[in-house]
């Protein structure tokens, strides 16, 4: 599963839980999710009331001209600092997805400047993505300088010095928040047995075809040393050099197995070209051009979309397509920790040819009566067997499986394409599931 956030991506509310904040810290103004780590250095001076009013007043302009500003920003920054092309997703630059996401981010920050707590869960997720990419504190001034210059160069005389001064102060505030949280994430990684910061050399020990579209990569560290424990639902960044682009390109993939201290497993969907959407450069490169025993760069595990392993309440895992990957890790963790904890595995996929890991799920259910499933095939082939490969045709419809999924005090975990998750969240809430019990993993540049 891919999850892509880059410097100041989309700031949007999520269902992550809030945690008490350290007093006087750089993040004391923003309610970051409980699974983030906090930086306790003294906070810079808060924005003045005048600066806040100016920033808020620019929101309509940003809504109208945001994409023009951010498109100019990325070109300007990457021309001036080509080394940053090794961090940013070149494909998302080409399609315009990343500029659109950043435009939304800047607008959201302006709108919520008086209520930064509303951005807390998203900041937690973004900080984890930054840490997985190895973003450093000295890169934030580069972003700020080019963003402010782009605002002036695109809007011209419509931007005066007080506006630039207000946005400079606002950007510094946001930069302090991110760098503080990310510093603690790096510290946490270094202090975890087997953990590290930056990139570590791995080899592709095995490649296993899970379906017509998905291959699992079993990754082992070249140094043979211990790997850290990770939480089910977390991901790693994988970085490969792309000769045709002349740069390294990183992507995030969910860990699809349980930790054993010896290997990581990711399960990658080969993204084919569909209408105006180009084929995925990295997924195709991994599938076609990375044989077994190839060396690749890998980050420490990060991410705050994680299963609460200490709870004993029922778990409902809901996925679409390649969104199944973190659910495999969650499922494996639950059955290895608690043989009595009820699990409902709900999965939607086009048909049996692209249904990954179905044999594993069948074996799990044979040995674990507390696990049940509801598999939806949008269409079926002659070889697809109802009751064996799948249970329902069409798209997920919770009204038809209410008895299976509406469980007292259950926690619901969603992963899949953005429209899929929005639809499932809406359906669950319509059936009375409290929003705080619905957790989701966001992936795709449009959500970054």
Measure the CA–CA gap between 215 and 196, rounded to whole angstroms. 26
Sequence-separated (6 or more) residues with CB below 8 Å from residue 417: 320, 321, 323, 444
Given 5, 74, 171, 182, which residue is catalytic? 182
DSSP 3-state of 134: coil
Contact predicate 318/414, CB 8 Å: yes
182 carries an active-site annotation: yes
125, 379, 429 from 434: Cα distances, Å:
21, 31, 6
DSSP state of 198: S
For 58, list phi and psi in degrees, rounded to 5.
-85, -5
HSE of 250 in the Cβ direction (CA atoms, 13 Å)? 26
For helices 140-155 and 59-80, angle between their N-to-C axes, nearest 10 degrees: 120
* Tokens linked to 287: 């599938």
Token pair 């997920």: residue: 396
Label residue 418 left, alpha or beta by phi (over 0 means left) and psi (-120 to 50 means alpha).
alpha
For the four alpha carbons of 327, 331, 334 and 340, in that order, the dihedral sign comes to: positive
**In the chain, what's the furthest Cα-to-Cα distance?**
69
Cα angle 407, 411, 414 (rounded to 5 degrees) comes to 115
Cα angle 38, 98, 19 (rounded to 5 degrees) comes to 20
Given 140, 171, 186, 412, which residue is catalytic? 140
Cα angle 318, 321, 326 (rounded to 5 degrees) comes to 55
Q: Which helix (H) or strand (E) holds 304?
A: none
164, 203, 241, 287, 289 from 295: Cα distances, Å:
46, 4, 11, 14, 12
- Residues acting as catalytic residues: 140, 182
């Amino acid at each position: 599963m891919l999850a892509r956030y880059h410097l100041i991506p989309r700031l949007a509310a999520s269902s992550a839980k809030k945690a008490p904040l350290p007093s006087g810290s750089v993040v004391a103004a923003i309610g970051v999710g409980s699974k983030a780590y906090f930086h306790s250095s003294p906070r810079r001076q808060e924005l003045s009331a005048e600066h806040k009013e100016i920033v808020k007043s620019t929101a309509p302009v940003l809504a109208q001209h945001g994409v023009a500003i951010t498109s100019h920003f990325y070109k300007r920054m990457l021309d001036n600092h080509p080394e940053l092309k090794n961090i940013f997703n070149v494909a998302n630059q080409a399609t315009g997805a990343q500029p659109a996401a950043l435009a939304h981010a800047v607008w959201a920050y302006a709108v919520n400047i008086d209520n930064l707590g509303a951005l807390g869960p998203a900041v937690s997720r973004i900080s984890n993505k930054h840490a997985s990419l190895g973003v450093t504190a000295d890169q934030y001034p580069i972003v700020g300088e080019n963003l402010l210059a782009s605002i002036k160069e695109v809007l011209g005389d419509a931007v005066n010095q007080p506006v630039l001064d207000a946005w400079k102060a606002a950007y510094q505030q946001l930069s302090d928040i991110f760098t503080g949280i990310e510093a603690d994430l790096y510290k946490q990684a270094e202090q975890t047995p087997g953990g590290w910061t930056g990139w570590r050399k791995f080899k592709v020990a095995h490649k296993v075809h899970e379906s017509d579209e998905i291959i699992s990569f079993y990754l082992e560290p070249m140094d043979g040393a211990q790997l850290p424990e990770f939480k089910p639902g977390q991901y790693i960044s994988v970085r490969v050099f792309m000769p045709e682009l002349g740069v390294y390109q990183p992507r995030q993939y969910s860990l699809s197995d349980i930790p054993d201290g010896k290997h990581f497993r990711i399960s990658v969907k080969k993204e084919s070209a569909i209408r105006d959407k180009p084929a995925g450069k990295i997924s195709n490169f991994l599938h076609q051009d990375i044989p077994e025993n190839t060396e690749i760069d890998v980050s420490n595990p990060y991410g705050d979309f994680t299963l609460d392993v200490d709870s004993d309440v029922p778990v409902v895992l809901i996925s679409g397509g390649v969104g199944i990957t973190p659910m495999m890790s969650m499922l494996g963790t639950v059955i290895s920790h608690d043989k009595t904890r009820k699990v409902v595995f709900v999965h939607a996929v086009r048909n049996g040819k692209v249904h990954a890991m179905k044999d594993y799920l069948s074996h799990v259910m044979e040995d674990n009566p507390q696990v049940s499933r509801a598999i939806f095939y949008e269409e079926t082939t002659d070889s697809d067997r109802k009751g064996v490969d799948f249970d329902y045709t069409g798209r997920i419809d919770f009204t038809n499986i209410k008895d299976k999924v509406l469980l007292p005090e259950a926690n619901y975990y969603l992963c899949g394409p953005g429209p899929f998750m929005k639809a499932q969240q809406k359906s669950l809430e319509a059936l009375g599931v409290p929003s705080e019990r619905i957790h989701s993993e966001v992936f795709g540049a449009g959500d970054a």
